[in-house]
């Protein structure tokens, strides 16, 4: 098999990936190039991250994105209890660190129901490997998100192009996360 056939097969493999295709279809290339804006739909987050966190302890796990805030809800089963404990937590974006040393999104837990239990918060957050929890602050390390880690690790002649890109704004809208990027020279 020649080099062109291998490259063609790799491109076809990427194009046949349903997660990649959904993300690309949601993106308007014009918005990305002209307005420097990207969008991540709620369905993508649900399928790629939350559905994979469900097991015998966490029985349901859902996300809902609204204007200015998001909500995660589900049910957690403990071995000693005969029933599952429903939980829900609303969060907002506290801030963004997107520099050469660290690429993180800081989320602030606003309301946790039915009761705010640290062990429940930690258990839910620990199910997603790129999240960490300290009190009511959740840190999403973008360099540990599987698809983004590959992009951030890519170098051109020893230089990371991500050192010259800035995440200017990030906000939650109905059903999606929207962000604006900029270029630093």
Average pLDDT over residues 65-84: 84
Is the distance from CB of 172 to CB of 153 less than 8 angstroms?
A: no
Q: How far apart are the first and last CA of the chain?
A: 41
What confidence tens digit (pLDDT) does each residue in 85-102 have?
A: 788 888 999 998 888 788
**Paired residues of 85 in beta bridges:** 76
What is the pLDDT, as a whole number, of residue 174?
94
Tokens of 172: 């939650």
Average pLDDT over residues 135-157: 79
Q: What's the chain's average pLDDT?
A: 78
Radius of gyration of the chain (CA): 19
Q: Rounded to an integer, what distance in angstroms lies between the CA atom of residue 145 and that of residue 132?
A: 12
% of the chain surpassing 70 pLDDT: 81
Question: DSSP E strands: which ranges in the chain?
Answer: 37-41, 58-65, 70-77, 84-98, 103-113, 131-134, 137-141, 165-173, 176-183
Confidence of residue 26 (pLDDT cuts 50, 70, 90): very low
Q: Rounded to an integer, what distance in angstroms lies between the CA atom of residue 119 and that of residue 77?
A: 13
What confidence tens digit (pLDDT) does each residue in 52-64 have?
A: 777 777 778 888 9
Confidence of residue 69 (pLDDT cuts 50, 70, 90): very high
């Amino acid at each position: 098999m020649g080099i062109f056939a291998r490259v063609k097969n790799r491109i076809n493999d990427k194009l046949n990936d349903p997660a990649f295709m959904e993300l690309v279809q949601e993106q308007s290339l014009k918005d990305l190039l002209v307005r420097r804006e990207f969008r991540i739909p709620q369905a993508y987050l649900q399928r790629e991250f939350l559905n994979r966190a469900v097991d015998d302890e966490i029985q349901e796990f859902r996300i809902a994105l609204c204007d200015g805030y998001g909500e995660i809800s589900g049910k957690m089963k403990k071995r000693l209890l005969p029933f599952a404990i429903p939980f829900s937590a609303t969060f907002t974006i506290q801030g963004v660190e997107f520099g050469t040393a660290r690429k993180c999104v800081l989320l602030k837990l606003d309301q946790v129901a039915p009761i705010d239990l640290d062990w429940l918060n930690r258990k839910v957050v620990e199910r997603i490997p790129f999240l960490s929890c300290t009190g009511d602050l959740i840190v999403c390390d973008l360099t540990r998100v599987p698809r983004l880690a590959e992009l951030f690790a890519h170098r051109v002649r020893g230089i990371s192009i991500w050192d010259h890109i800035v995440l200017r704004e990030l906000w939650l809208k109905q059903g999606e996360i929207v962000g604006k990027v900029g270029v630093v020279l």
